[in-house]
Amino acid sequence: MIVDLSELKNAKVESLTNVYHELMPKKFFRAKSAYVDRKLTRDEIKVWKKTIENGPKEYLVLFDLQGGALNNKKRTDTALVHRHKPLYSIQLIGDWPEHNLQAANEDYAETYFEKIDKLLGDEAFQNYIDAKVGSAHKYYAENYDKLKQVKAKYDPENWFQYKQSIPLP
């Protein structure tokens, strides 16, 4: 679909938001992630495969190999701590069009990770902030304390915050 938005150049934000909502279908989204830092056995891969096959069609699982240029820096050089340790990351991503599917899809995401929990490492990808992941150390590991200091310097009023955000020291 192509839409001419040239007349909206002086429009108020509310108008632009309304155009977006009219053009884009409403969807619900869930994503979870984890890192795997060891080679899996054949039996473990079978458990993984069965868990994926029995999932709802709204979900997909991505396996992202880690390494290469990512490992040119030390784990403490940047906010992205996931270097040198994990072999790959897994991302469980789902979206669905109707609110009445929310509970079933949320349950699947949690159940999926419960079933494969013993296969996972102890870190999770920062861009999939998840209230159920537990400690923020899963996202930031040994960089957590340094990131709290950065937060204090650049956001001393704690303006940017959410349930799993880096807190002020």
**Residues 169, 155: Cα–Cα separation, whole Å:** 11
> Residue for token digits 């784990």?
75
Average confidence (pLDDT) over 14-24: 64
Percent of the chain with pLDDT over 70: 85
Say which amino acid occupies 70: L
Categorize the per-residue pLDDT at 53 as very low, low, confident or very high, splitting at 50, 70 and 90: confident
Residue 115, pLDDT > 70, answer yes
Residue 129, pLDDT > 80, answer no
**Residues 148, 127: Cα–Cα separation, whole Å:** 17
Closest CA to 81 of 38, 139, 36, 31: 139
The third-level CATH classification (topology) of the domain covering 26-140 is: Vanillyl-alcohol Oxidase; Chain A, domain 3 (3.40.462)
Average confidence (pLDDT) over 3-25: 64
Residue 23, pLDDT > 80, answer no
